[in-house]
Chains A and B, each alone.
Chain A
Amino acid sequence: QVQLVQSGAEVKKPGASVKVSCKASGYTFTSYGISWVRQAPGQGLEWMGWISGYNGNTNYAQKLQGRVTMTTDTSTSTAYMELRSLRSDDTAVYYCARDGVTTVTRDAFDIWGQGTMVTVSS
């Protein structure tokens, strides 16, 4: 079946980096994109950015520009999200979600990964 499976929980110290993976199966990876969404404890959903599974084009939320990098490996149908210079307010559950292959496709997020808890604490 169509699914996204994410890597496991992480605990990081402030200033460190984290890289979360999202492996797709059950569909043609290069026909879609992946958006990353995070949710701090008790808070709402925050879109972090998008990457095309076709050509690797990216579009990042302005507040994360310079700290976030999204990449893909089409040979394994896996998307990655790396966040650097972690702070305590980066503590959140990080989700990947299937999106359109371009930003103008304007698709909804119809498939979500199970989420990866990232805790930033000294």
Chain B
Amino acid sequence: DIQMTQSPSSLSASVGDRVTITCRASQSISSYLNWYQQKPGKTPNLLIYAASSLQSGVPSRFSGSGSGTDFTLTISSLQPEDFATYYCQQSYSTPRTFGQGTKVEIK
């Protein structure tokens, strides 16, 4: 199985901050890396697919980059509605593994 490791596990940031979350795969997954946002009590929501493609309807302050084993999700200017948990997920092979999540909290 491909292991997905996110860092940090949590972070505190202020509105307007630039936030970066990293995700590392245990083996190369090309660009088959997706990012989801989940707010408490809510369903996960796709933000970025194929490492860098912005899902329709997602604000442009979200961006993704990387290929192979190392990937990054960046929020260019954190907004109040962005406080949530973020998960990376590989769709290169089955089982479709997720990272453990990164909780973004208000500073």
Given A44-B87, A45-B44, A45-B87, CB of A110 within 8 Å of CB of B98: no
Q: Are B92 and A106 in contact (CB under 8 A)?
A: yes
Q: How many B residues face the partner with a CB closer than 8 A?
A: 25
Q: How far is the CA of A109 from the CA of B33 in the complex (A)?
A: 11
Question: CB-defined interface of A28-54 with B at 8 Å, one 1/0 digit per residue?
Answer: 000000010100000011110010000
Given A44-B87, A44-B101, CB of A50 within 8 Å of CB of B44: no
Q: Are A110 and B95 in contact (CB under 8 A)?
A: no
Q: How far is the CA of A108 from the CA of B44 in the complex (A)?
A: 12
Closest CB in chain B relative to A36 CB, distance in Å: 10
Q: Which of A59, A61, A106, A114 contacts B91 (CB 8 A)?
A: A106
Q: Are A47 and B91 in contact (CB under 8 A)?
A: no
Closest CB in chain A relative to B35 CB, distance in Å: 9
Known contacts A62-B1, A103-B94; can you find 9 more A-B pairs with CB under 8 A?
A44-B100, A50-B96, A61-B95, A95-B43, A95-B44, A108-B34, A109-B36, A109-B46, A115-B43
